[in-house]
Every structure is written in C-alpha cells, then in structure tokens.
Structure 1
Amino acid sequence: MYRKKSIGVAIPAYNESKLIEKTLESVPPYVDKIYAVDDGSKDDTAEKIKNFDDSRIFLIQQKNGGVGAAVTAGYQKALEDHIDIVAVMAGDNQMDPQYLPDLLDPIIDGKAEYTKGNRLLNSKYRKGMSAWRSLGNYTLSFLNKIASGYWDLEDPQNGYTAISNRALKKLNLNEVYKGYAFENDMLVKLNIHDISVKNVPIPARYADEKSKIRYSRFIVKTSFYFVKALIWRSWNKYVVKLNPIGAMYLSGSLLTVIGFFALFALDVLYILLGFSLFGVAAFSEILRNKFLDTKFSKEVEVTPLNE
C-alpha cells in the first residue's frame, strides 16, 4: 500500500533475460502486486521470473504481441484484482523506482488520472539520450499533440506511467494499439473520455540496455497512425457525442470539398464554353495557360469590384 492505495506494477518483458531480475528486485516494497508479462520471449526471461523469490509476482505468459499487448495484459489482471493504481516499469531496468511516487502522488491527490514521465524537460534530464533520439522524441511529441489533443504533453513515448482504476475501467483495452505506438494510442483513447493527464519530470536512465525502437522507421510508420488517430478522435469525441465543435469540423470539411469541386466545375465551364462565374475567369486562365496546352486561349477582362 502507498498512502492507503493499493499499487500494482506491470512489467512488460521481451527477451530481457539479462535485466529482468534486476528490474524485479528494484520494485519498491509498498507495491502490492507485480504483473510480470513475458511477451513470447525466445530466451529464458519467463524462467527467471518464475524462479524469482517474491510472492507479489504474478507471471503472465503470452504469444509475442508487442509492448502494448504486454502492458494491457497487466492492466487487465490489475482490474481483476481491483488495484487502485497501476504503474508500468519496463523489464529493461530503464525506469528508476525512486521516481515512482512522483507518478503516484498526482493521482492520489486528485490532480490527474494518468501520469507520464517526461525526459525532455531539460538537458540534465536527457542525459544519456542521443541527439538523434532526442530529435525523434521531439518530432513525435509534436505529432502526438495534434493527434491526442493533449497540447501540454511532452515525451509521449515515455513508457513510465501510472493510471487510476477509474480511468482504466473507461477504456476498451482490447482496442488499444498493441505495437510501439501503444503510448500514443493510450492518450488518444483517454482524451475521448476527458481523462486528465499530467507530465512528471523524470530523468532518462540508460545503462546496459538500449531502446529497441528505430526512430527513422518508427516516425514514418507512426505518422500514418497519427493521421488516422486524429480523424478517429475528432469523429468519436465531437461528432458522435454531438459536440458543437463536431458540427464545425463537419461543416468546414464539407465546405472545403464543395469549394474544391465548385472551382473545378467553373474552370471546366470556362475552358469548354468560355463561361465563368464570380470573377474566377482570371484564375481559370492562369491555370489553363500553366497546365493545359489548348487552342482555346483568349484574353480575359476582369471588372473591378468598385465599379
């Protein structure tokens, strides 16, 4: 128990034989349950978890499904056990347990229902993070702001998080993205339910293990996800819920489409019939001379609006 709240820690692990024991032994004594999830490891990660002497550990073994699948498996078991707050500490020992209270306190104090570590606060906190990785994180932070709607949030790929039981119950964990964009998708899904999220400054810790994310490929792949996530969030939060903003989104999109086709139709009329409306003849002439090699060229007289 921590401040009269039951605490669970989900530990996703894939081929973490080298560091899983070090991670398990670092979990603070006030944590009530440890949900160690072996995500189809090919090494002896699962065996080391089984043999680790700690009665709090509950081993979950599953086929390899990605970090999101592993974390949600821990979340689901924590919900079954009625745990008040569930944190995530990856099996590579990169998440310093001394900062766990910093994630738990805002939830207990009612200031947030989901907390995330932030390594991008200053150069001191980014110590050990390469320049390329920092650039990748800043790029993903910007894209995530647009997709998730949490504009004050930084370092979305930081997996050191904590979430309340109440917030977890609102999510359909089966629909959450299971790959490396899991953290981003969690934020998108949380925003639909207006869950309060708070960034918590936590330094990066890199030692024997390096991140498995390849940012060059990840940013390109995830960019397509961000586009879909933005559309999905806008539709489900504003249109489905009949929010006035949804009406603005729909009307704006509809007017944009109508405007595009209207200009196209007017240009076609001008090219074929020499007939144009609303003073767009000049624009049509420019387009026609620039892109079309046609014998219908003619001078266009534009009447000033003040006449």
Structure 2
Amino acid sequence: MYNDLKVVVVMPAYKAAKTIEKTYREIPLDLVDEVILVDDASPDETTQMAEKLGITHVITHEQNKGYGGNQKTCYNKALELGADIIIMVHPDYQYTPKLIRAMTSIIAEDLYPVVFGSRILGKGALKGGMPIYKYIANRLLTFSQNLLMSQKLSEYHTGYRAFSADVLKAVDFNKCDDDFIFDNEIIAQIFSKGFEIAEVTCPTKYFEEASSINFSRSSKYGLGVLRVSFRYFLAKTGLVPWNLIS
C-alpha cells in the first residue's frame, strides 16, 4: 500500500525460468500488495519457478498469446484484484524492480498518472549493453513519434511501465494488438485521452537470458510503430476519424 492505494506488480513472462528469482527478490514487497505472473506458454519451467517462489498469482496460458496478449491478461487480473496502481516489470531482469517505489510515489502523489522507466535518459541503454543498431532504431523511431504525436518522450519502447488504474480503465487496451505493437497502441490511447506520461532514468541489462526480438520482428515492429503514429497524427489533425485499433 502507498497512501492507502493498492499496488500490484504484473510480470508478463516467457522463458524466464532462469531470471524470475533474481527479479522477484528485488521487488519491494513491503510496498507491493500483490504480484501477478502470466506465463505465456513457456517451454521451460517458468510457471514452476514462479510457484516455487511463492508469487501470489501465477497464470499460465495454454497457448502462446503474444506479448500484447500477455499484458492484457496481466492488466485484467490486476484490475479484477482492485489494484489502484499497476506496474509492469519484465521477469527477465532487464529492468531493475528497485525503481518500483519511485514510480509508485509519482502516481500516488498525483504528479502523473503514468510513469515509464526510460533507458535513454542518462546513459542506461548503451552502458547496459543495448546493441548499437537497436539504439539507433530506438532514437529514430522516438524522434518520428514525438513529431507525429506532438510529445517529448525520451523513448516509447521501454517495457518498464506504471499506470494508475484510472488510466487502464479509460483506455481500451483489450482491443490493442496481441504482439509487440501493443505497447505503442496503448501509448496512443493514453495520449488521446489527455493523460500525461512521466519518465524516470532506468539502468538496463542486456545478456543472454534477457528477452529480445530478432531483426525481422524488429523491422515489423518498427513499421507497426510508424503506422500507429501516422494514424494518430491524421486523427488529431481531423483528416480521418479516430479509429486507432482496427
């Protein structure tokens, strides 16, 4: 609890058996009321490890639903449990849970309703081992998105995110894509509803067990990001009706 607000951490997991424990041990359980882990049909022992650690709620998809589909299960369960603040932490230990307290306080003190952990603020990305091609792509996509969406985020592509429950209730995240483009579709919905997003500097770690997508999927993701941003721009300029989610 923080200011009588219920704090729930959600962990969308896939092949995270080797990294769950390290991630979970850093979650401030004196602050966090519930932890939800959703195993997206991992071929390893992700579910078994989560249960062994005593994670409050472990949900296992019988079939892989994709990264976006996994988040939908996470957020729906958190809202069902009556969460006031929901924080997504990847269980691959790419982002440290030690920022949960800071991100929670920003929302709980009514400063901002959404907080992102940014790898780009400071020197977190390259210092943590982000491949240079991914760094360049991140910067180019973010620059384009800021222009098209009239925003000033340092990055749109972080997987470390905290939301007020009011935000998740106001947007229709269940209609977002089931793959990685989910992240940018929900951002577009957040901005379309007039919510603001705060950012905190976040160190990151790239290593063999950390999740990543290959070049082909990265390219597909980049094109999807631009599509979402252009649709947002056209809708905001009144050239087309608002219809972000097809």
Q: TM-score range by the shorter chain?
A: 0.7 to 0.9
Greater Rg over alpha carbons, structure:
1
Q: Secondary structure at the match of 2:143?
A: helix
AA at the equivalent of 2:38:
V
Identity value in percent: 26
**Is the 8 Å Cα contact of residues 9 and 88 (structure 1) preserved in structure 2?**
yes
**Aligned twin of 2:127:** 127
Sort the Cα spacing of 1:105 and 1:143 in 2 relative to 1 into closer, same or farther, 3 A: same
**Aligned twin of 2:179:** 179
Sort the Cα spacing of 1:124 and 1:50 in 2 relative to 1 into closer, same or farther, 3 A: closer
**1:200-219 equivalences in 2 (<5 Å):** 200-207=200-207, 209-214=209-214, 216-219=215-218
Q: C-alpha displacement at 1:161, in angstroms? A: 0.7
The aligned length equals 237
Q: CA RMSD in A?
A: 2.1
Q: Distance in 2 between matches of 1:194 and 1:143?
A: 20
Sort the Cα spacing of 1:119 and 1:209 in 2 relative to 1 into closer, same or farther, 3 A: same
Q: C-alpha displacement at 1:220, in angstroms? A: 2.9
Q: Structure 1 unaligned runs (5+)? A: 239-244, 251-307
Q: C-alpha displacement at 1:144, in angstroms? A: 2.9
**Aligned twin of 1:90:** 90
Q: Structure 2 unaligned runs (5+)? A: 241-246
Q: C-alpha displacement at 1:227, in angstroms? A: 4.2
Sort the Cα spacing of 1:188 and 1:139 in 2 relative to 1 into closer, same or farther, 3 A: same
**Aligned twin of 1:41:** 42
Q: C-alpha displacement at 1:52, in angstroms? A: 2.1
Q: C-alpha displacement at 1:231, in angstroms? A: 4.6
**Aligned twin of 2:243:** none
Q: Distance in 2 between matches of 1:184 and 1:218?
A: 15
AA at the equivalent of 2:224:
Y
**Aligned twin of 1:139:** 140
Q: Secondary structure at the match of 1:51?
A: helix
Q: Distance in 2 between matches of 1:117 and 1:73?
A: 21
Q: Secondary structure at the match of 1:70?
A: helix
Sort the Cα spacing of 1:219 and 1:20 in 2 relative to 1 into closer, same or farther, 3 A: closer
AA at the equivalent of 1:68:
G
Sort the Cα spacing of 1:150 and 1:158 in 2 relative to 1 into closer, same or farther, 3 A: farther
Q: C-alpha displacement at 1:179, in angstroms? A: 1.2
**Aligned twin of 1:163:** 163
**Is the 8 Å Cα contact of residues 19 and 93 (structure 2) preserved in structure 1?**
yes
Sort the Cα spacing of 1:218 and 1:137 in 2 relative to 1 into closer, same or farther, 3 A: farther
AA at the equivalent of 2:221:
T
1:151-206 alpha-carbon deviations (Å, 9 max, x no partner)? 21022111111000100101212211221222211111111211111121112233
**Aligned twin of 1:2:** 2
In the alignment, does 2:21 pair up with 1:21? Answer: yes
**1:154-303 equivalences in 2 (<5 Å):** 154-207=154-207, 209-214=209-214, 216-234=215-233, 238=236, 245-246=237-238, 249=239
In the alignment, does 2:102 pair up with 1:102? Answer: yes
Q: C-alpha displacement at 1:219, in angstroms? A: 4.7
Q: Secondary structure at the match of 1:142?
A: helix
Q: Distance in 2 between matches of 1:208 and 1:220?
A: 21
**1:110-121 equivalences in 2 (<5 Å):** 110-121=110-121
1:269-298 alpha-carbon deviations (Å, 9 max, x no partner)? xxxxxxxxxxxxxxxxxxxxxxxxxxxxxx
AA at the equivalent of 2:42:
S
**Is the 8 Å Cα contact of residues 23 and 96 (structure 2) preserved in structure 1?**
no
Q: Distance in 2 between matches of 1:227 and 1:90?
A: 24
**Aligned twin of 1:254:** none
**Aligned twin of 1:77:** 77
Q: C-alpha displacement at 1:127, in angstroms? A: 1.0
1:243-292 alpha-carbon deviations (Å, 9 max, x no partner)? xx42xx46xxxxxxxxxxxxxxxxxxxxxxxxxxxxxxxxxxxxxxxxxx
Bigger RCO (CA 8 Å, 6+ sep): 2
Q: Distance in 2 between matches of 1:152 and 1:185?
A: 17
Quick check: 34-43 or 135-144, which moved more?
135-144
Q: C-alpha displacement at 1:217, in angstroms? A: 2.8
